[in-house]
Amino acid sequence: TGYGLLSLHDADTFIGEMRLFKSEEELLNLKRACQISAEAHVAAMKFTKPGVSERQIQGHMLNYFYSQNSAREGYGFIVASGNSATTLHYNFNDQICKDGDLLLIDAGAEYNYFTGDITRTFPVNGKFTKAQVDIYQGVLNVQKEIISNLKPGVLFKDLHTQGASLLTDLMLELGLLHGRKEDIIAANAHRKYYPHGIGHWLGMDVHDAGLYYIKGEPRAIQENMCFTIEPGLYIPESDAQAPAQYRGIGVRIEDNILITSTGNEVMTSDVPKEVSEIESLMQI
Rounding to the nearest 10 degrees, give the CA dihedral for residues 260, 161, 85, 100.
Answer: -90
Say which CATH topology domain 12-282 has: Creatine Amidinohydrolase (3.90.230)
Q: What is the pLDDT of residues 215-241, one digit of tens each?
A: 999 999 999 999 999 999 999 999 999
- Is 0.85 topped by the overall pTM? yes
pLDDT digits (tens, 9 = 90+) for 53-83: 999 999 999 999 999 999 999 999 999 999 9
Q: How far apart are CA 72 and CA 57, in angstroms?
A: 16
Domain boundaries, the chain: 12-282
| Angle formed by the axes of helices 130-148 and 156-174, nearest 10° | 160
β partners of residue 111: 114
Positive or negative, the CA dihedral 8, 10, 13, 16 is positive
At residue 156, the pLDDT reads: 98
Pairing of strands 255-259, 118-123: unpaired
In three-state form (DSSP H/G/I as H, E/B as E, the rest C), the secondary structure along the chain is: CCCCCCCCCCCHHHHHHHHHCCCHHHHHHHHHHHHHHHHHHHHHHHHCCCCCEHHHHHHHHHHHHHHCCCCEECCCCEEEEHHHHHCCCCCCCCCECCCCCEEEEEECEEECCEECCEEEEEECCCCCCHHHHHHHHHHHHHHHHHHHCCCCCCEHHHHHHHHHHHHHHHHHHHCCCCCCHHHHHHCCHHHHCCCCCCCCECCCCCCCCCCCEECCEECECCCCCEEEECCEEEECCCCCCCCHHHCCEEEECEEEEEECCCCEEECCCCCCCCHHHHHHHHCC
pLDDT band for 2, please (50, 70, 90 cuts). Answer: low
Q: How confident is the model over 3-55, as pLDDT tens digits?
A: 678 888 889 999 999 999 999 999 999 999 999 999 999 999 999 999 999 99
- Give the integer Cα–Cα distance in Å for 265 and 22: 14
